[in-house]
Chain A
Amino acid sequence: MSLLTITDLSVRIGGATVVDEVGLELAPGERLALIGESGSGKSLTALAVMGLLPDGARATGSIRLGGRELLGLGDRELSRLRGERMAMVFQEPMSALNPLMRIGKQLAEPLRLHRGLNRRQAATAAVELAAQVGLPDPDLIVRSWPHQLSGGQRQRVGLAMALATRPALLIADEPTTALDVTVQADMLRLLDELVHQHGTSLLFISHDLAVVTRLCSRAAVLKDGRLVEEGATGTLVRTPQHPYTQRLVAAARATGTEEVTR
């Protein structure tokens, strides 16, 4: 049985339909990439799953997580699922951490929320989490402030936070886009490793075909809010069917990304 089943998901903002009857399925432990240009509705699809759509956006259709319908759930029930069954890593590591909260406190926030850890247990857990994502000097770093960390380090904090409670589903919204190229590879390796270790299902949002081929077994292509193509990543890259996918692959080849042509 699949972990996440999205059927006929539409998101409307005002009069505009920004996600149009999208259907996706994700098996436990599977990795699915959601590809598309900016504005194609991939981030909104992810936010709809998390129940975090902005004010004024309305989602219709069905999103089931482990057989449970998420659309129409109250904020309280959703809060219980967020950070526990499903978690998210954001694109901008610079702004995704509270500037006035020490790293350790932020790392342990999901554990305090969902596991009822007290302050001391949370502090210990934060150090472990920091070590797990390969942050240098975990004892020191939990006591530092976000502005003292580099972008890559902050993104590791974000990943550690998301995986703290071992959620069944991890949504990563372009987690490497804002990082230096040198750091990107490290970050992807870490994501790959941790998701594999915990058996987490991954919904990976990206516009980078090279990254997607390395990380995900299946990919879905979104264009203007519609699902235009879906399939195994290898097949999709080798024999793209939809004109938009063909253009994407061609563009990736043109910029000389080797993994795609392999």
Chain B
Amino acid sequence: MTVSRALLKSRSGSAGLVLVGLLLLSALVSLVWTPYDPTLARPRDGWLLPFSGGHVLGTDRLGRDELSQLLAGARGTLLTALLAATIAAVVGLALALAAVLVPRWIGAAVVQLTDVLIAFPVLLIAMILTAVYGGSTWTVVTAVGVGAGVNLARVARAEAGRVLNTDYVLAAHAAGSGTWRTVRKHLLPNIAPTLVVQLSLVLSVAVLAEAALSFLGFGAPAPAVSWGRMLHEQQQYIAARPLLVIWPGLAVAASVLGFNLLGDGLREAADARLRIREAR
């Protein structure tokens, strides 16, 4: 309640909310309605200019409606980002808890493993997975989710270590709380603010990675619509029809910016709450 109010107050937070809201709205609208079938090619209607032939943003070489593709692309982008963030949260939390809760030598091994995995760029993991299993939404989601998850694990581990060393965790144990109960009731709620901020950044990374992979041809294959592939298909005609490249590019940039700003806003909001708590 107080967090959402603080979020609306911060400039970056409200800007992020608007951009992310726009993405969410496009994705939801595309579920029930797009001006045309985004995958329907009508070569006779190719290269239509904006506001001609009933196409608000014009059509591409194959006569596919640009606006419909953008809307459908939002759905794919959002789905990929959310799934990747979910995987990242699960992987990150599992690794972090494994590092702090188990006997020290196992924990050290988990930490080493995490550090090694961090060295692999997300895009590289995705390309390897695609080479082996073929391109699909799941390949992208898994690669980005695991890649972001190990990064998340590092932050979550530090935060979990801090919380586990607090007096209130000691007090909970002194009251007879078992390990899992302490994790559930005391550890998770207290690392949640940090995790939420990190996850919003994971979302922005996922949007960017999905676009990049599709652009490079490692993304979900047709008929799935993706902003990255729109960019890829239009780039050779950029001189003739720059707008067809600018729109999907803008969509990617706005989504990434939106999640980043949202993350910033959330951090400010959480900090403000912490400040109040400390001050009293």
Contacts and interface: CB of A to CB of B under 8 A. Distances in A.
Interface in A91-105: 92, 95-101
Contacts of A88: 171, 174
Interface residues of A, number: 32
B177 interface: yes
Given A55-B104, A101-B186, A101-B189, A90 B170 contact: yes
Contact of B177 (A55, A56, A79, A87): A79
Given A101-B185, A147-B276, A90 B167 contact: yes
Of the four ranges (under 10, 10 to 19, 20 to 34, 35 or more), the interface on chain B belongs to 20 to 34
B168 interface: yes
A83 B178 contact: no
Nearest to A50: B174
A179 interface: no
Nearest to A161: B175
Given A55-B104, A147-B280, A100 B176 contact: no
A158 B171 contact: yes
Nearest to A109: B175
B173 interface: yes
Identify which of A97, A100, A113, A147 gathers the most chain B CB atoms within 10 Å of its CB: A100
B168 A75 contact: no
B280 A148 contact: yes
Given A96-B168, A98-B168, A101-B189, A79 B178 contact: yes
Contact of A95 (B167, B173, B181, B186): B167
B179 interface: yes
Contacts of B174: 50, 52, 82-83, 87-88, 90, 162
Nearest to A92: B167
Interface string A108-126: 0110011000000000000
B277 interface: yes
Interface string A43-78: 000000010100110000000000000000001100
Nearest to B178: A79
A148 B276 CA distance: 10
A110 B280 contact: no
Identify which of B168, B176, B280 gathers the most chain A CB atoms within 10 Å of its CB: B176
A174 interface: no
A52 B170 CA distance: 8
Interface in A113-160: 113-114, 147-148, 158
Nearest to B177: A113
Identify which of A81, A92, A96 gathers the most chain B CB atoms within 10 Å of its CB: A96
A176 B214 CA distance: 63
Interface string B177-214: 11101000110011000000000000000000000000
Contacts of B186: 98, 101
Contacts of B189: 98, 100-101
A109 B181 CA distance: 11
Interface in B145-183: 166-168, 170-179, 181
Contact of B176 (A84, A92, A99, A148): A84
A147 B275 CA distance: 11
B108 to A, nearest CB: 12
Contacts of A98: 168, 172, 185-186, 189-190
A52 B175 contact: no
Given A147-B277, A147-B280, A96 B176 contact: no
Contacts of A114: 176
Contacts of A83: 174-177
Given A95-B167, A95-B168, A87 B190 contact: no
Interface in B74-122: 104
Contact of A97 (B171, B176, B178, B179): B171
26 contacts: A52-B170, A55-B104, A75-B179, A79-B173, A79-B177, A79-B178, A82-B175, A82-B176, A83-B175, A88-B171, A88-B174, A95-B166, A96-B170, A96-B171, A98-B185, A98-B190, A99-B168, A99-B190, A101-B186, A101-B189, A113-B175, A113-B176, A114-B176, A147-B276, A147-B280, A158-B171
Interface of B: 104, 166-168, 170-179, 181, 185-186, 189-190, 276-277, 280
